Structure 1
Amino acid sequence: MPLYSYKARDKRGQLHKGEQEASHKSSVAARLLDDRLTPVSIEEIEPSIKLEDLLKQYLPKKTIPLDDLVLFCRQMHALTKSGIPIMRAVFGLAETTNNEALSEVLQDIGSVLSRGKTLSQALHQHENFFSPIFISMVHVGESTGNLDQAFYQLVHYLEMMRDTKKKVSSALRYPTMVIASILIALVVVNVVVIPSFAKVFDKFGSDLPLATQMLLATSHFFIEYWWVLIGFIVSALFGMSRYLKTERGALNWDRIKLKLPIVGGLLNRICLSRFTRTFSMLFASGVPILQSIDISAESIGNLHIEKNVREMRIGIERGDSLSRTANSSGMFTPLILQMIAVGEESGALDALLLDVSEFYDEETDFQVQRLSGAIEPIMLLFMGAMILVLALGIFLPLWDLSANAR
Structure 2
Amino acid sequence: MPLYKYKGQTGQGKTVSGALNAESEEALYALLRRDDVFLTECRVAENEKAAVRRLKPMELSEFCRQLASMIGSGITLSRAMNIMLMGNLKPRLATVYRQVQRLVQQGQPLSDALSAQGVFPDMMINMFRAGEASGQMEQVASKLATHYQKEHRMNNRLKSATLYPKILGVVCVAAVLIIFLVVMPDLERFFEGMALPPFTRFLMGFSALLQQRWYWMLIFVLAVVALVQVLLGVPAVRLAWDRLKVHTPFVGKQLRIIYTARFARTQSSLYSSGLSMIRSLEIASATLGNQYVAAQFADVIKQVRAGDMLSKAIQQVDGFDPKLAPTIYVGEETGQLDQMLENIAENYEYESDAALTRLTGMIEPAMIVVMAVVICLIMLGVLGPIWSMYGNTAAFG
TM-score of Structure 1 vs Structure 2, range by shorter chain = 0.7 to 0.9
Distance 1:26 1:346 in 2: 43
Structure 1 residues 396 and 163: alpha-carbon distance in aligned structure 2, compared to 1, 3 A threshold: same
TM-fit CA distance, 1:22: 5.8
Identity of aligned residues (%): 27
TM-fit CA distance, 1:361: 1.2
* Equivalent in 164, 168, 173 of residue 158 of structure 2: 168
> Does residue 75 of structure 1 match 2:52?
no
2:329 corresponds in structure 1 to 341
Distance 1:229 1:343 in 2: 57
Structure 1 residues 105 and 274: alpha-carbon distance in aligned structure 2, compared to 1, 3 A threshold: same
* Equivalent in 296, 300, 305 of residue 288 of structure 2: 300
Distance 2:59 2:309 in 1: 39
Distance 1:166 1:32 in 2: 33
1:384 corresponds in structure 2 to 372
TM-fit CA distance, 1:333: 2.9
> Does residue 269 of structure 1 match 2:257?
yes
One-letter identity of the residue aligned with 1:154: L
Contact 1:94 1:106 in 2 (8 A): yes
Structure 1 residues 23 and 96: alpha-carbon distance in aligned structure 2, compared to 1, 3 A threshold: farther
TM-fit CA distance, 1:399: 3.0
Q: Deviations over 1:250-293 (max 9, x none)?
A: 43433333344554333322221121122122222221111111
TM-fit CA distance, 1:47: 7.8
1:357 corresponds in structure 2 to 345
1:87 corresponds in structure 2 to 78
SS of the residue 1:116 aligns to: coil
* Equivalent in 217, 227, 243 of residue 231 of structure 2: 243
2:381 corresponds in structure 1 to 393
Distance 1:268 1:387 in 2: 34
1:57-206 matches, cutoff 5 A:
62-126=53-117, 128-204=118-194
One-letter identity of the residue aligned with 2:257: R
Contact 1:64 1:99 in 2 (8 A): no
Structure 1 residues 211 and 22: alpha-carbon distance in aligned structure 2, compared to 1, 3 A threshold: closer
Structure 1 residues 106 and 81: alpha-carbon distance in aligned structure 2, compared to 1, 3 A threshold: same
TM-fit CA distance, 1:194: 0.7
Structure 2's unaligned 5+ residue stretches are 8-18, 29-41
Aligned residues: 370
Moved over 6 A (4+): 24-27
TM-score normalised by L of structure 2: 0.83
The CA RMSD over aligned residues, in Å, is 3.0
1:13 corresponds in structure 2 to none
* Equivalent in 329, 346, 351 of residue 317 of structure 2: 329
Contact 2:259 2:320 in 1 (8 A): no
> Does residue 219 of structure 1 match 2:207?
yes
TM-fit CA distance, 1:63: 4.1
Contact 1:211 1:392 in 2 (8 A): no
> Does residue 375 of structure 1 match 2:363?
yes
Distance 1:253 1:163 in 2: 26
Distance 1:83 1:140 in 2: 19
One-letter identity of the residue aligned with 2:328: I
Structure 1 residues 161 and 349: alpha-carbon distance in aligned structure 2, compared to 1, 3 A threshold: same
Structure 1 residues 137 and 97: alpha-carbon distance in aligned structure 2, compared to 1, 3 A threshold: farther
Which range moved further: 72-81 or 244-253?
A: 244-253
TM-fit CA distance, 1:161: 0.6
Contact 1:340 1:352 in 2 (8 A): yes
Contact 1:258 1:264 in 2 (8 A): yes
1:37 corresponds in structure 2 to none
Contact 1:175 1:375 in 2 (8 A): yes
One-letter identity of the residue aligned with 1:64: L
SS of the residue 1:330 aligns to: coil
Distance 1:161 1:89 in 2: 25
Structure 1 residues 333 and 371: alpha-carbon distance in aligned structure 2, compared to 1, 3 A threshold: closer
TM-fit CA distance, 1:97: 4.3
| Larger RCO of the pair (alpha carbons < 8 Å, separation 6+) | 2
Structure 1 residues 32 and 132: alpha-carbon distance in aligned structure 2, compared to 1, 3 A threshold: closer
TM-score normalised by L of structure 1: 0.82
Q: Deviations over 1:135-159 (max 9, x none)?
A: 1221122222221111110111001
1:12 corresponds in structure 2 to none
2:37 corresponds in structure 1 to none
Distance 2:369 2:286 in 1: 39
Distance 2:211 2:120 in 1: 49
Distance 2:197 2:382 in 1: 9
